[in-house]
Structures are given as C-alpha cells and as structure tokens.
Structure 1
Amino acid sequence: MTVHSDFMKNNTIILLIISVVVLAAVVYTLTGTESPEDYIERIEAERERQFKFIRFNFESPLTDEQKASFTKLNFYPIDPTYKVKARMVPIEDRKVREVPLTDGTKEKYIEHSWAEFELNGKSEKLLLLQAMNEPDKRNFFLAFADATSAEETYGGGRYINARQDGKNSITIDFNLAYNPYCAYNPDYGCPLPPKENLLDIAIPVGEKNYDK
C-alpha cells in the first residue's frame, strides 16, 4: 500500500507540474506576453538582422568602402523596463505636417495621436506621425531625440517602428530604437524629430551612434 501510495503521490506531482507548464503556455499565448528569455532573444535576433542588412544589403546606406571595414553595430544593453505600453490619445483636428529633413527638404506626415506613458516614474508623451501613403493604418512613424543625442547616440535622433496593438494602446519599445540612414551616410535626407518629441531625459537603450 505504501508503494502504491507513493506512486500515486508522484503521479499527482508530475500532473501538477505539467498543468502549471501548460497553463503558463496558454497564458503566454492568450496575453502575448513573452518570457524574459524570449524577449532578449527576440531583440538580439532583430539586432543581428539590422547588422546583416547594413553590412550586406544593396539598399544599405553604407558605401562599398564603408562596408569593407564595417564589423558591428553599437547597442546599449537590453533593458525591458524601456518597453512601455502607451495610451493613444487621438488628435481631434488632425493636420498635415511638413517635417524637415537633414538635407533641407521636407516630407509630409499626418499628425495622428499622442502616445502617453510612464517611464521611470515620470509621465511622458510622444507625437505619433503617420506617412501620407501608409497602407496599414496601425503603423506609425516615431522619431525622437533625448539626453543621449549628440553624445552616445546620433545627434539627429533615432526612430522606432511603432504599431498599434489595441483599440487605444500602442507598445513603444525603446530597445528597438535605431539610427536613420543619415547617421551612416550624410548623402541621405532623414526626417528630424518633431519638437514635441525632444525628450529631456536619457533613453540609454537601443542603437548607439555609428562608429565610423
């Protein structure tokens, strides 16, 4: 009877462990939440994709001479606290804004919404712009500058590809902030961050300045 009891007890423990694992998998699936390990792996994979594009793609902003000596992109360490869920506040009277580019020209965008969020205990907001010809209305262009700009990061700001993921919400992951083409090659014209997106705080994640 003791052997049978121990066997049943062990089976119960195994079933409980399996149930917890299955439940965790279901929660991740339903909520879209990643484990910390999966998150870091995804960011690292995106960084590797960026490097390969800049190094090998024919559409890369690097010249052939630059590619010959290019060995890596520079990034801050990954910090999940800089992935924030923002509340989208639509701009009622949406206007077309002519955004200045680094080459002196201008490009038209729609002033769409404000993304309001908290970061390190402080309330922040950024202006979400949308390209005039954007086919997917859930995609937004987010250009920003912060206290690291012109120091550790590119002086002309950095970009994030932001995508609406709820009725009134959007995820902004600063770990995915990347440099515009003009950070690598001044022959390119790149949109400058709007004045509303000049943050007075440091965002020490994402891509650092290109080390020529």
Structure 2
Amino acid sequence: MKGFKYIILLGVLLIVGYLVKDLFFNDESYNQAVLKFRESKDLTFRSVTRSPLPDSVRRAFNKLDYYAPARDFEISADFQAQESAEPVAMPMTTGTKEPYYVKGKATFELEGQTHTLTLFQKAGATSDSLFIPFTDQTNGFETYGGGRYLDAIPNGQTIVLDFNKAYNPFCAYNPQFACPMPPAENRLKVKIPAGEKAFGTK
C-alpha cells in the first residue's frame, strides 16, 4: 500500500514537472519569436530601399529600442464586431485626413481596470488584420509622444492584443511621413511598458 502511494506521488510530481517545463519552454519560445521579429525589423530599417529613416540617420542606425518581451502584455480581449457603413475621417500628422472604417471594439482587463480600444481598417485594405492606434501613459516619457500602433486579427468573439509588438508610426523616425493620430477613445489611462520605445533615446 505504501509503495502504491509512492507511485501515485511520483506520477503527480512527473505531471507537475512536465507542466512547469512546458510553461517555461512556451514562454521561452514566445520570447525568441518576438526577438526574431524585432531583428527582422531592424534589418528592414537598415535597408537602403525599405527604411523609413532619412538616409543620414539610416547609415548610423544600429537597432530599435524595445521593452523586454512580457507575456503579461499578450492579452486576450473580448471582441465586438462593429461595421461602420461609412468611413471615418482619420486625422493625420500632416493635417490631412484619410478614410478608415471602424471594425469593432476590443475590451480587456489590465491593472484592475477595464479598457476598450476601437479597431479600424483603412479604406480599400483587404487584409484581415485590423489597425489599432493608441496612446498610453508611457507616451512622451519612455515611448513616442504621439502614440503607437498595434495590428491584430479577430478570432470570433476574442482577439489577442500583443502589446509586445506595439510599434511606432513612421513619422516618429521621419516627419515627412503622414501618420494616423490615435483617436480620443483609444487613449488608455494605464501604462503599457511593452513593445517599441521612443526612437533615439538610448
């Protein structure tokens, strides 16, 4: 009987060990995927033909500055589809406006608060990926003052908001670009210390 209890205990320990190992390697795999994504972006920024950087800046460019990957900021949000019949006029940094369709709302919990973001799609775009311009309380301090962007694809009534992939608009690197300005409803009253930091602040 005592031997049987030891066998059960050993089995439980093996299961727990497997789960812990699986969790660790899942996190490690995720972190490696994020870092690989960032390395690829750095290569693009060094490219003569694809970089948004002015040529004089590009020649001295090494890499972008990011927060360390954190799974706490890979957030599963509730998604409510909302198809606007007519596009809204999205203000651009150059003072112009461009047409974007409202596609839905994403609601999630962070730091004990409920937050909601509006998701858009540029008029004429065919991708399933939706566009999320947002600001948070790191803007102007650790991140670009004009806000950042996020792309995500809904899956039924849920959508994963991976803020580790939050990125700066091109106008953060070069004022010649016209960039959408985050609308008032996408101003988060919380810090999102994830994704890309302000350019040139190392």
Q: Shorter-chain TM-score category?
A: 0.7 to 0.9
Matched with 1:9 is none
**In the TM superposition, what is the alpha-carbon distance from 1:162 to its structure 2 partner?**
1.0
TM-score by length of 2: 0.84
2:174 maps to 1:188:
no
Structure 1 residue matching 2:167: 3-state secondary structure: coil
The number of aligned residues is 188
SS in 1 for 2:36: helix
**How high is the TM-score relative to the length of structure 1?**
0.80
Q: Give the whole-Å Cα distance in 1 for the aligned partners of 2:148 and 2:119.
A: 14
Aligned residue for 1:69?
Answer: 60
Report deviation, 1:62.
0.8
**Corresponding residue of 2:146:** 156
Structure 2 unaligned spans of 5+: 1-9
Offset of residue 90 of structure 1: 2.2
Q: Indicate the percent of aligned positions where both proteins have the same amino acid.
A: 38
Residue 88 in structure 1 maps to residue 85 in structure 2: no
Instruction: State which drifts further: 178-187 or 127-136.
Output: 127-136
Contact 2:86 2:101 in 1 (8 A): yes
Which protein has the larger Cα radius of gyration, Structure 1 or Structure 2?
1
Q: 1:74 is aligned with what amino acid?
A: D
Q: Could you tell me how far apart the structure 1 residues matched to 2:169 and 2:84 are?
A: 29
Gaps of 5+ in 1: 1-12, 29-33
CA RMSD of aligned residues (A): 2.5
1:50 is aligned to 2:25? no
Check if 1:145 corresponds to 2:135: yes
Q: Deviations over 1:86-145 (max 9, x none)?
A: 111123655411011111111110111110111233211100011111213x31001101
- Cα distance in 2 between the residues matched to 1:190 and 1:93: 22
